[in-house]
Structure 1
Amino acid sequence: MGYLSVFLLIFLSWNFFILGTHQLQSSQTQVLLQLRKQLEYPIQLEIWKDHTLDFCYLSSSTQVNITCQDNFVTGIKIMGDKTVKDSNFDGFAIPTVTLSGAFSMDSFVTTLARLTSLRVLSLVSLGIWGPLPDKIHRLSSLEYLDLSSNFLFGSVPPKICTMVKLQALSLDGNYFNGTVPDCLDSLSNLTVLSLGNNRLNGPFPASIQRIATLSDLDFSGNEISGKLPDLSRLTSLHSLDMSKNKLDSKLPALPKGVAMAFLSNNSFVGEIPQQYSRLVQLQHLDLSFNFLTGTPPEALFSLPNISYLNLASNTLSGSLSNHIHCSSELSFVDISNNKLTGGLPSCLSTALDKRVVNSDGNCLSIGFQHQHPDSYCMAVPVKKKESRSKDMGILVAVIGGIFVATLLLVFGCFFVCKRCCSRGISEQHLLHKTVQENSTTGLSSDLLTNARFIPQVAKLGTEGVPVCRVFSLEELREATNNFDRSTFMGDGSNGKLYKGRLENGTQVAIRCLPLSKKYTIRNLKLRLDLIARLRHTHLVCLLGHGLDTGGRDDSSVYKVFLIYEYVPNGNFRSHLSENGPEKALKWSERLSVLIGVAKALHFLHTGVIPGFFNNRLKTNNILLNEHGMAKLSDYGLSIISEENDKHGEKGDGLNSWQMTKLEDDVYSFGLILLESLVGPSVSARREAFLQNEMASFGSQDGRRRIVDPTVLATCSQESLSIAISITKKCISLDSSTRPSVEDILWNLQYAAQIQATADGDQRTDTAPYH
């Protein structure tokens, strides 16, 4: 985004020096006043209320700047305040408040089109919302367009490709979805294209490869999938950011002049291309959190301008030569969480200079802590059958082929699962509102005023998921036969639970939650709106809610009913013991459940702003559907529960339920991991177990004594060791040493890979020989 700012500054400065001597035409003044009205009189434009002023000669500020040539407006820059800075987005401005339901993006663009000489338009963080209409192309003189950090949604209009004078286009931080128009090569003057942090999906547009003038390209934080093609023809490209997408090809060739390349948090496979070792202008390279293999090219460390190199959290292997020469510019290196062996090159020793180096989570023989044993980084050997036959070599080759095929199948399934996991909430849930409340716009003023969702790590596809709605008490009584005892499913800290059947035959679970705090209907609906927008494959779907005012007329609510999808296959705890009511899950099945819950937890923490913490994670809150897939229930209820009041409230109290530490959920997840390892009986003697038994995990005899027999019978020792290690970290008494949810997920997925490989080897070993 730095190039955008420089471009805008130069352009506006140039316009300042060529201001005409004639006063701005009255028609142009009227357009500006109309824009102020449509933007609902933002405080930044307070000075415009004096209609006698010549807007072209008003002093500029960082928030408002109008430039003119002759007697026409040529540039408008308005920076609003409807944003909040969020550390999860590297300082990116996230929109938090929209304009009212009376705002019309279509009418707004129509007004802008009356400024026929407009070349620069920057409207950032103003809360404008709605689809960007095709008529945006009527601003045919635009050279710079920045509408970032707003609430624009729908598709990027293809007509934007006809705005051939555009040199910079920034639509960051909105809610655009669908595919990117594959006609952008018609913008032959384009130097900056920034569409980051939206909900764009589909393949990378091939037309972008043909924009020879492009210097900055940012598609980060979307759901672009498939292959990232050869970008070497973009000879002017300086900065590339494709991080946080769903790309799963090999790494593409990059142009020789690229200085910044952000390709992290995708599913790239294969080795790091040797071509990257010849990118002499490269300063910043981030390839972390992918599935890259092989040994990193040594020349990467010695590129003349490289200052930041992040290769963390891949499956890089082999050893780094001690003769590697590090560039004098290299100040940060991260090779952690790979499968590297051997020693650490001398130039990566932090003892030599101020260079920051992170090498944890490998199998390096460097005498430091946080390294795995060599077996962790070694390929699982193919077990050979003893035979005196002269065909022994052929037999070994066959076994090896089966092993490789199994390994490829495991990785293939892992990549497919990663692609199938998306990261947010569909547009219909972001902007849903019953027509009865606002038949003009179909949008909730409460929702629009308090919208805090961001496109993030984890937008999940919700096609076919029913829209959350309000249920009447009569509907709920009918669904449960007036809450008959036969429909009662249990009672707990979150109220009574009933099983019901709706009029259309849908089975549901109805949670009756008494409220000790007296909420107004408006306040409670706002909180329920926030919960209703949570949609994830591994969350039990909230179908709607009902409110019970007890017949009072003071607009207060004392009981709320939450209507969830019915999940038929029992809870996780009931599947953890051979003595339980359900069949005990083997180790690989338990890992699958734990991975699903970790994905749901990651979404709750990072998929929304602010995140949902303190989710009361327990094994009996993890439900299994008919396919054995985990779905977390009773999430997010802290925002309407009595626990809220312990933290105090201000106004609507929306900030009171935000936890300041993520470690609370991490600790609870650690206890779920522990219960998965030793069985549900640990919950009854948790404190004694944590004090007296944890050390037993360190020995084989101890494991045989305390680990659940079903786990011991179905696990590989390496997979079990990984799970035990991450469990100990989660339940550490020192919260600062507990892992992030991302670390938990990575370790569980790796443990599942190891287990799948071991299961494949076992099937090979027990297969009959002919």
Structure 2
Amino acid sequence: MGWLNGLFIVLFWWGFLVPTTYELQSYETQILLQLRKHLEYPMPLDIWQNFDGDLCFLSPTPRMSISCQGNSVTELKIMGDKLPSAQVSDGYSGFPVHNQTLSDSFSMDSFVTTLTRLTNLRVLSLVSLGIWGPLPDKIHRLYSLEVLDMSSNFMFGSIPAQISRMVRVHTMVFDGNFFNDTVPDWLDSLSNLTVLSVKNNRLKGSFPHSLSRVTSLTDVVLSHNAISGELPDLSALSNLHLLDLRENRLDSELPALPSGLTTLLLSNNSFSGAVPSQLGKLNQLQHLDLSRNSLSGMPPSELFSLPNISYLNLASNMLSGSLPRSMNCGEALGFVDISSNRLVGSLPSCLDSTSGKRIVKYGMNCLSIDTKNQHSKSFCQEASTSQRKHFPGKAIALLVGVVGGIMIIVVLLAVGLFIFCRKTASRGPVNLHSAPKVVLDNSASTMSSELLANARIISQAAKMGTQGNLVYRLFSMEELAEATHRFDPSVLLGEGSIGKIYKGKLENGSYVAIRSLILHKKFLIRNLKLRLDLLSKLRHPHLVNLLGHCIDGGMQDDSAVNRVFLVYEFVPNGNFRAYLSETSPEKVLKWSDRLAVLIGVAKAVHFLHTGVIPPSTSNRLKTKNILLDEHLIAKLSDYGMSIITEETDKSEAKGDSSKQRNVTKLGDDVYNFGFILLESLVGPVVRDKGEAFLLDEMTSFGSQDGRRKMVDPIVLTTSSQESLSIVVSITNKCISPEASRPSFEDVLWNLQYAAQVQAAADSDQRSDAPSLSQDS
């Protein structure tokens, strides 16, 4: 009977425990299903809907995976498709607004509350899911968390200070959001932190000194923010391999840096002083980019001979002196850019680009080689003397400018806050996600009157035209004549099929570009105003802003005109094509920079296709119409011309249905963007050779040897094979002669994926010159 008693005890405890286990699994299953509801049923989670078993046993996919231990979820990874394809804000608070976010009913607080019930979660990755709003402090309740990745969403405000209590976290990634507060200064509380990546946000203020005490760090990526001031001594970070602070506003001298660095990216800041000799002792360094700063003096020759250095970019600084003729270069060095400095003398033998061993760019110096692309020696001497002589005065002017700028900003913020509060009080809460309707005059038009009268902006981005600081207004002919010296030929910027473009200077001192647009037929004023009203609402960070217009000779609504002047912001740094040409070697962009330009333009065109009803089609996409501002941010020009020209009318005359016509025109934009991609890969393409010829040439991209022959060397030496393959593939699809081309959303997704792959390749210290390394 003893064995029966034992069996009874076992059965008793089994019966006691099984319901508890079942309830626990059911509880966490319900949490997961509730999270799916919060996220508005994203496609990667469709598999959950009809799955009757334990979600822990679901097979992982590239966009979803769940891992469990015991009866608890320990890893949750979801990747959606709601990419922040237009980084726009409301113009006052910097909060994101975009039709890719989750709906108005989404509650960040409720979502995080549900999420924190998964108390044993160690890995959490929620990427591109449209999550928007400030991240609540209660996120710290995930006390077991080790990896947190919420990149490519729409979170804004500050990174919660309570995260400092999540002491087990070793990887924290918030890339591609809208965080607009200062960089946290409590990071030294995270003693296990190894990877910190918060690139492509709007973080401001100074670089946190506390970060220099987190000795466990291996990767710090804070690029593409607005961090300013001094970079502190980071030499104590003995485990740091990657430091990426590109595209910020840091303006100190370069400090002492860790000896174990393999990748150092500090371009597009305002670093000054000499390049420290200590950099020439970083024997692990593989990739160094100090371009577009204000560094001066003679660069240490030891930099070029570092044993592992493969990529060295010192372009666009104020470096001077003569590099030693007998200077040695490291065996791994595949790319060197010392262009746009003030170097004199001859080029060291190891930088002789004719050897074919490495790519060297040295234009726009005062070197004694290739003098047609060099300044005279006196230019560099005078520039250096002028800099030393006038530096105190410049410093004072800079100080006065900064102080004055701060005072202006304070006043504007105060006025803006007052207006904002008044509007909020009188109109109730601001809805960041509603789709405003463009109110248009109900008048006859050759473009469908119903179409124009019901035109609306889907994306909140367009509403910024009435809220931001770029106010659209009417100009008089007298103003434009004065701004252009009576349209003098000396201010003519160019002439195209739809009119001339002039550079003008307004009375307030600002520069503008003025297009004299010749219409194919006369329009009634009221009809033309309908079209201009819609065009004026198109606001996007990657579109050249339309500031206003002037109707030539038209006074009454029933007057007929055939010429209108469009006034745009002036974009100073020329067009994208010039940055791809071998004739301007000092300006040629590397692969990651080309991707940034392409992504910016794709975001703009995606907005024109999906953010406006009716969509803006036939947007004249070509590399000459992509302009770069002072920060090399891409801005598309010549867009939306179909709204106020006869192109729409011609399509209507053919009797096509509206839907089919739009599909065709959207496909044309995709097709033309394909040739922009092609030029980005191989350099400027001469379309005059015929599209058939170019399409035949694309077939050679299929082989490695074919790519080496066709692809621009700067692309080959600064790209990973995977990133390059992604862009080659989407290029082929865009210029396919078949009608079924990808949507711009697909194009954008592929380009952003290629950029992520390239960033990962840089982080993994892959060679930036794959073809050279294979040859050697």
In which range does the TM-score fall when normalised by the shorter chain?
Answer: 0.5 to 0.7
CA displacement at 1:352 relative to structure 2: 2.2
Matched, 1:442 2:431: yes
Matched residue SS, 2:455: helix
Q: Which runs of 5+ in 2 are unaligned?
A: 1-19, 87-96, 492-502, 514-568, 577-595, 606-618, 622-634, 652-659, 678-776
- Distance in 2 of aligned mates of 1:292 and 1:279: 19
- Aligned Cα RMSD in Å? 5.1
- Distance in 2 of aligned mates of 1:245 and 1:602: 23
Tell me the TM-score normalized by structure 2: 0.57
Matched residue SS, 2:233: coil
Asked if the contact 2:222/2:246 (under 8 Å) is kept, the reply is yes
Matched residue SS, 1:44: helix
Instruction: Decide which of 405, 408, 418 is 2:392's aligned counterpart.
Output: 405
- Residues 260 and 406 (structure 1), Cα distance of their counterparts in 2 relative to 1, 3 Å cut: same
Matched, 1:122 2:153: no
- Residues 106 and 217 (structure 1), Cα distance of their counterparts in 2 relative to 1, 3 Å cut: same
- Distance in 2 of aligned mates of 1:515 and 1:421: 46
Matched, 1:56 2:45: no
Q: CA offsets per residue over residues 356-406 of structure 1, 9 Å max, x none?
A: 1111221211136422222332225989xxxxxxxxxxxxxxxx9964534
Q: CA offsets per residue over residues 123-149 of structure 1, 9 Å max, x none?
A: 111111111111111111111000001
Matched residue SS, 1:56: helix
Matches within 5 A, 1:459-608: 516=447, 518=449, 520=451, 524-526=455-457, 529-533=460-464, 541-542=470-471, 572-574=483-485, 593=511, 597-598=570-571
Q: CA offsets per residue over residues 81-138 of structure 1, 9 Å max, x none?
A: 223899xxxxxxx997222222111111011011110111001111111111111111
- Distance in 2 of aligned mates of 1:649 and 1:200: 43
- Distance in 1 of aligned mates of 2:109 and 2:478: 43
Alignment-derived partner of residue 165 in structure 2: 162
- Residues 643 and 192 (structure 1), Cα distance of their counterparts in 2 relative to 1, 3 Å cut: farther
Asked if the contact 2:84/2:152 (under 8 Å) is kept, the reply is no
- Distance in 2 of aligned mates of 1:184 and 1:81: 31
Asked if the contact 1:82/1:95 (under 8 Å) is kept, the reply is no
- Distance in 2 of aligned mates of 1:416 and 1:597: 26
Q: Which amino acid aligns with 2:164?
A: C
Alignment-derived partner of residue 503 in structure 1: none
Matched, 1:357 2:360: yes
Q: Which amino acid aligns with 1:443?
A: L
Asked if the contact 2:84/2:128 (under 8 Å) is kept, the reply is no
Q: CA offsets per residue over residues 536-577 of structure 1, 9 Å max, x none?
A: 99xx7236xxxxxxxxxxxxxxxxxx7899999985214998
Asked if the contact 1:161/1:183 (under 8 Å) is kept, the reply is yes
Matched, 1:296 2:308: no
Q: Which amino acid aligns with 2:433?
A: S
Asked if the contact 1:649/1:655 (under 8 Å) is kept, the reply is no
Q: Which amino acid aligns with 1:541?
A: L
- Distance in 2 of aligned mates of 1:644 and 1:419: 47
Asked if the contact 1:179/1:201 (under 8 Å) is kept, the reply is yes
Matched, 1:76 2:76: yes
Alignment-derived partner of residue 662 in structure 2: 650
Matched residue SS, 2:129: coil
Matched, 1:265 2:265: no
Asked if the contact 1:213/1:236 (under 8 Å) is kept, the reply is yes
Q: Which amino acid aligns with 2:74?
A: T
- Residues 206 and 95 (structure 1), Cα distance of their counterparts in 2 relative to 1, 3 Å cut: farther
- Distance in 2 of aligned mates of 1:590 and 1:324: 52
Instruction: Decide which of 275, 280, 283 is 1:277's aligned counterpart.
Output: 280
Q: CA offsets per residue over residues 241-300 of structure 1, 9 Å max, x none?
A: 100011111122211111111100111111111111111111111011111111111000
CA displacement at 1:442 relative to structure 2: 1.1
- Residues 47 and 345 (structure 1), Cα distance of their counterparts in 2 relative to 1, 3 Å cut: same
CA displacement at 1:334 relative to structure 2: 0.8
Instruction: Decide which of 225, 229, 236 is 2:228's aligned counterpart.
Output: 225
Asked if the contact 1:185/1:207 (under 8 Å) is kept, the reply is yes
- Residues 330 and 567 (structure 1), Cα distance of their counterparts in 2 relative to 1, 3 Å cut: farther
Q: Which runs of 5+ in 1 are unaligned?
A: 1-20, 87-93, 384-399, 448-468, 475-511, 544-561, 616-631, 664-770
- Distance in 2 of aligned mates of 1:53 and 1:134: 34
- Distance in 2 of aligned mates of 1:534 and 1:327: 53
Alignment-derived partner of residue 193 in structure 1: 196
Tell me the TM-score normalized by structure 1: 0.57
Q: CA offsets per residue over residues 520-541 of structure 1, 9 Å max, x none?
A: 479732179544436999xx72
Alignment-derived partner of residue 309 in structure 2: 306
- Residues 237 and 342 (structure 1), Cα distance of their counterparts in 2 relative to 1, 3 Å cut: same
Matched residue SS, 2:68: strand
Matched residue SS, 2:264: strand
Q: Which amino acid aligns with 2:456?
A: K
Matched residue SS, 1:225: strand
Asked if the contact 1:220/1:245 (under 8 Å) is kept, the reply is yes
Matched residue SS, 1:347: helix
Alignment-derived partner of residue 622 in structure 1: none
Alignment-derived partner of residue 719 in structure 1: none
Instruction: Decide which of 326, 331, 335 is 2:329's aligned counterpart.
Output: 326
Asked if the contact 2:313/2:337 (under 8 Å) is kept, the reply is yes
Matched residue SS, 2:373: coil
CA displacement at 1:641 relative to structure 2: 3.1
Q: CA offsets per residue over residues 630-685 of structure 1, 9 Å max, x none?
A: xx9x996647433774899636988978984999xxxxxxxxxxxxxxxxxxxxxx
- Residues 573 and 567 (structure 1), Cα distance of their counterparts in 2 relative to 1, 3 Å cut: closer
- Distance in 1 of aligned mates of 2:204 and 2:476: 28
Matched residue SS, 2:457: helix
Query: Which piece of structure 1 moves more, 409-418 or 258-267?
Result: 409-418
- Distance in 2 of aligned mates of 1:601 and 1:523: 37
Asked if the contact 1:166/1:187 (under 8 Å) is kept, the reply is yes
Q: Which amino acid aligns with 2:364?
A: G
Q: Which amino acid aligns with 1:83?
A: L
Number of matched pairs: 516
- Residues 189 and 655 (structure 1), Cα distance of their counterparts in 2 relative to 1, 3 Å cut: farther
- Distance in 1 of aligned mates of 2:597 and 2:642: 14
CA displacement at 1:610 relative to structure 2: 2.8
Q: CA offsets per residue over residues 391-432 of structure 1, 9 Å max, x none?
A: xxxxxxxxx99645345557778999999999xxx999xx99
Asked if the contact 2:98/2:459 (under 8 Å) is kept, the reply is no
CA displacement at 1:221 relative to structure 2: 0.6
Q: Which amino acid aligns with 1:313?
A: S
- Distance in 2 of aligned mates of 1:291 and 1:179: 25
Higher helix share: 2
Asked if the contact 2:213/2:236 (under 8 Å) is kept, the reply is yes
- Residues 186 and 381 (structure 1), Cα distance of their counterparts in 2 relative to 1, 3 Å cut: closer
Instruction: Decide which of 593, 603, 608 is 1:610's aligned counterpart.
Output: 603
Matched residue SS, 2:124: strand
Asked if the contact 1:242/1:264 (under 8 Å) is kept, the reply is yes
Matched residue SS, 2:312: strand
- Distance in 2 of aligned mates of 1:419 and 1:513: 49
Q: Which amino acid aligns with 1:598?
A: V
Q: CA offsets per residue over residues 698-750 of structure 1, 9 Å max, x none?
A: xxxxxxxxxxxxxxxxxxxxxxxxxxxxxxxxxxxxxxxxxxxxxxxxxxxxx
- Distance in 2 of aligned mates of 1:269 and 1:222: 19
CA displacement at 1:52 relative to structure 2: 2.1
Q: Which amino acid aligns with 2:315?
A: A
Matched residue SS, 1:125: strand
Matched residue SS, 2:360: strand
Q: Which amino acid aligns with 2:570?
A: V
- Residues 530 and 608 (structure 1), Cα distance of their counterparts in 2 relative to 1, 3 Å cut: farther
Matched residue SS, 2:331: coil
Matched residue SS, 1:379: helix
Matched, 1:367 2:367: no
Q: Which amino acid aligns with 2:464?
A: R
Instruction: Decide which of 146, 150, 170 is 2:149's aligned counterpart.
Output: 146
